[in-house]
Amino acid sequence: MKKTGLNGGDIFRSVLVLMLFLSAATGVGLVFRSIGFNVVNVVIVYILSVLLTARFTRGYAYGIVASLAATVTFNFFFTEPHYSLSVNDPSNFITFAVMTVTAVITSALTSKVKQSASMAQEKEAETIALFRLTNRLTDAGSLEDIADIASNAVSELLGCNARLLRSDGNGKQQDSSLPQNDVRGLLPPETDGEKKKSRSLKQSPREPADGCHEMPVRSRDALHGVLCIPKNVRMNDSQTRLIHSMMESTAMAMDRLRSVQDRIKATEAATQERYRGNLLRAISHDLRTPLASIMGMAEMLANMPPEDDPRHSLAEDIYKETNWLHSLVQNILNLTRLRDGAMNLSRQMVPVEEVVGGAVNHVGRLTGREIIVEAPDEVLFAPMDAGLIEQVLVNLLDNAVKHTPPWEEIRISVRRDDEKRFARILVSDRGSGILTEDLPNIFQMFYTASARRSDASRGMGLGLTICAAIVEAHGGTIQARNRADGHGAEFEFTLPLEEKHEPETK
Partner 1 sequence: MSQKRSELLLVVEDDARISNFLSYALAQEGFPVLTSDTAQGALSLLVSQPVDLMLLDLGLPDADGMDVIKRVREWSELPIIVVSARDQDREKAAALDAGADDYLTKPFSATELMARIRVAIRHLYRESSGRHQAVAEVGGLKIDLDRRLVFLEDAEVHLTPMEYSLLAVLFQNIGKVLTTGALIRELYGPGYGNDTQALRTLMAGLRRKVEANPAKPRYILTEIGVGYRLVDE
Binding site for partner 1 (CB under 8 A): 285, 288-297, 299-300, 322-323, 326, 330, 333, 346, 348-351, 353-361, 365-366, 371, 373-375, 377, 379, 381, 386-387, 390, 414
State the Cα–Cα distance between residues 309 and 275, nearest whole angstrom. 48
Pick the closer one to partner 1 by CB: 223 or 280.
280
The minimum distance between CB 184 and partner 1, in angstroms, equals: 54
Look at the alpha carbons of 115, 121, 125, 131 in this order and tell me if their dihedral is positive or negative: positive
State the Cα–Cα distance between residues 351 and 345, nearest whole angstrom. 17
Put residue 367 in one of left, alpha, beta given phi > 0 → left and psi -120 to 50 → alpha.
Answer: alpha
Residue 340: C-alpha distances to residues 141, 170, 334, 337, 390 (Å): 32, 30, 10, 5, 19
Pick the closer one to partner 1 by CB: 247 or 386.
386
Cβ-contact 196, 167 below 8 angstroms: yes
The minimum distance between CB 188 and partner 1, in angstroms, equals: 57
The minimum distance between CB 141 and partner 1, in angstroms, equals: 42
The minimum distance between CB 391 and partner 1, in angstroms, equals: 10
The minimum distance between CB 368 and partner 1, in angstroms, equals: 11
The minimum distance between CB 473 and partner 1, in angstroms, equals: 16
Residue 155: C-alpha distances to residues 2, 152, 159, 237, 407 (Å): 17, 5, 5, 17, 89
Pick the closer one to partner 1 by CB: 220 or 365.
365
Nearest to residue 226, comparing CAs of 201, 245, 262?
Answer: 201
Pick the closer one to partner 1 by CB: 165 or 315.
315
Long-range Cβ pairs for the range 296-302 (8 Å, 24+): 298/322
One-letter identity of residue 140: A
Pick the closer one to partner 1 by CB: 259 or 293.
293
The minimum distance between CB 255 and partner 1, in angstroms, equals: 41
Pick the closer one to partner 1 by CB: 147 or 425.
425
Nearest to residue 204, comparing CAs of 228, 186, 222, 221?
Answer: 186
Nearest to residue 154, comparing CAs of 258, 255, 225, 259?
Answer: 225
Pick the closer one to partner 1 by CB: 375 or 434.
375
